[in-house]
Structure 1
Amino acid sequence: MSDDLVFDTGFTTPSGECARLSPLVRRIVAGNPGPITFTGTCSYIVGNGRVAIIDPGPDLADHVEALLNAVRGETVTHILVSHTHRDHSPAARAIKEATGALIVGCSAHRSARPLALGEANMLEASSDKDYAPEQELFEGDTVEGPGWRLSAVATPGHMANHLAFALPEERTLFSADHVMAWSTTVVAPPDGAMSDYMASLEKLRAREDEIYWPGHGGPVREPQRFLRALALHRRQREASILNRLREGDRAIPAIVAAIYQGLKPALIGAAGLSVFAHLEDLVARGIVRTDGEPTLTSEYRLA
């Protein structure tokens, strides 16, 4: 079977609609479409009667209302949060206020590393620094209800505190932003790290989940093939960056222009952060050099 990376961009579920995905899983898409969020954030309801909500999403009144309407007559026991981006976690507070459910999941916001001297965090505004879990989940920790159990799977990379959640009753993984069928994942220092991301991909390859429900877009239906394709894509991107350094490119904008030809202007910044993540990893591995700590504005050369 081919390991070519093929994306599924045909997802059409409208925002606000509660879709039944399986006996245990329902999904509501938030009305926050965009270049990074695709058609919007996917929030999931797990269970029947006594339920959990995974990634309640942005604090949009219409989305919060749709989630609350979907669970009317049921008891929400847990609100699980995969990571602290503003398109995933802020509505947890409104859902808790309305239901009394416990907010559990990832740690409070943290970065993969400290800022270098003079470095700015380009994604600072996207972080939900008000998120505060009542119970932090670590690898293997579980929450459960009638007929369901959700287990935390640590998957740092996209962010340092990123978690996925496994539902063994349906051999399902809620993969949040770590693995998505519609696009590759943004990995952007200092909040994320390419070395962590690649290690998390390998970790998931050791699992036997049959379907992923991601944070944006439709399901990943052949997880093992897709994981292999994602890893190969990242290795090929690394090779392209090294080739540009051999050709004499030294700065990230020049590398982006050469290897992301035809990219939509709205995605150029994300592409630069992705190249930066690869270069940071290559410097740590001794393959690439730069003067001082790696930053977005550093000049890079082969070691």
Structure 2
Amino acid sequence: MAKYPVGVAVPLGPLVTRVLAGNASPYTHTGTQTHLVGTGALAVVDPGPDEPAHLDALKRVIAGRPVAAILVTHTHRDHSPLAARLRDLTGAPVIGCAPLTMDDEGPRADAAFDTDYAPDRVLADGERIEGDGWTIEAVGTPGHTSNHMAFALPEAQALFSGDHVMGWSTSIVSPPDGDMGDYMASLEKLLGRSETVYYPGHGEAVDNPQRLVRGMLGHRKQREGQIVRLLARGTQRIEAMVEAMYVGLDARLKPAAARSVLAHLIELQKRGLAVAGEGGAWHAV
């Protein structure tokens, strides 16, 4: 069997099964992963893109079992749109992050927001729901998007980390909705938690999440340091900064890298360390 079989139930633990959508891309890695929680009445985490083949796959894996909740980490189009069809099919409520209607002009193929997302219930940070042998705790993790939410599963010491912490790459933080300060604070927040495994929206399960989160914080601080040093040399444009900072990066990913650089610059501006000039140029204070 292929390492990343599309549309196939892959058990990750006694309570968790993964089903991969067929939407692989440079931005989604092998595709969006939907996770099913439970052995009786299920919770479905991130139903995924509105693709008939993925809905058919979920129907096969659900196999007539009741669905108690459809949980959504955030409203990018590769995570939430299938929620409405799955709700119609199962009668389960859509629960999780708040809706978000603003547009994101970033370049990501998957990053346009699902403006049709209409949850039946929005969870607050720390709020819990209970099901058949499982508990889900909402963990607010804004940054990748302002409405991003992770979900803890205490029975498995697990966290469904959405796009906040992924098993293959760092998350893109794309202004105006993505916020680097919030993203860093959310990573710090996870360092204070006790989960031993993360199940991300993209990529393999993370078996040592604290080490990865510390590494992600260090990586972002390193990127910030690169930007500060470039600004110290004189006025900089983002495109030139990407070329200097991301040597060897796939050209298809450079627009996304530019969005993350912009997010860092906006955060530096908030802290009084950078200023946006005319024509997209930036300089140090």
The answer to whether the aligner puts 1:274 opposite 2:273 as a matched pair is no
Q: Which residue of 1 aligns with 2:141?
A: 155
Q: Which residue of 2 aligns with 1:183?
A: 169
Q: Which residue of 2 aligns with 1:299?
A: 281
Which of the pair has the greater relative contact order for Cα pairs under 8 Å at 6+ separation? 1
Aligned mates of 2:167, 2:57 — CA distance in 1: 24
1:146 deviation in Å?
1.5
The answer to whether the aligner puts 1:238 opposite 2:224 as a matched pair is yes
The answer to whether the aligner puts 1:101 opposite 2:103 as a matched pair is no
Aligned mates of 2:11, 2:199 — CA distance in 1: 13
Q: Retained in 1: the 8 A contact 2:235–2:284?
A: no
SS at match of 1:80: strand
Q: Which residue of 2 aligns with 1:3?
A: none
Aligned mates of 1:30, 1:160 — CA distance in 2: 24
Q: Which residue of 2 aligns with 1:80?
A: 71
1:73 deviation in Å?
2.6
1:45 deviation in Å?
0.3
Runs of 4+ in 1 over 2 A off after TM superposition: 120-125
Aligned mates of 1:233, 1:250 — CA distance in 2: 21
Q: Which residue of 2 aligns with 1:4?
A: none
Correspondences of 1:50-199 after superposition (within 5 Å):
50-110=41-101, 121-122=105-106, 126-199=112-185
For 2:82, give the aligned amino acid.
A
1:298 deviation in Å?
2.4
Q: Which residue of 1 aligns with 2:27?
A: 36
Q: Retained in 1: the 8 A contact 2:234–2:284?
A: no
**Alignment gaps of 5+ in structure 2:** none
TM-score of the superposed pair, with normalisation by structure 1:
0.90
Percent identity between the two aligned chains: 48
Aligned mates of 1:270, 1:259 — CA distance in 2: 13
Aligned mates of 2:124, 2:151 — CA distance in 1: 11
Aligned mates of 2:114, 2:58 — CA distance in 1: 20
| Aligned alpha-carbon RMSD (Å) | 1.6
> How many residue pairs are counted as aligned between the two chains?
282
1:251 deviation in Å?
1.0
SS at match of 1:152: strand
Deviations 1:242-268 (A, max 9, x none): 111122242111111111121111101
SS at match of 2:13: coil
**Alignment gaps of 5+ in structure 1:** 1-10
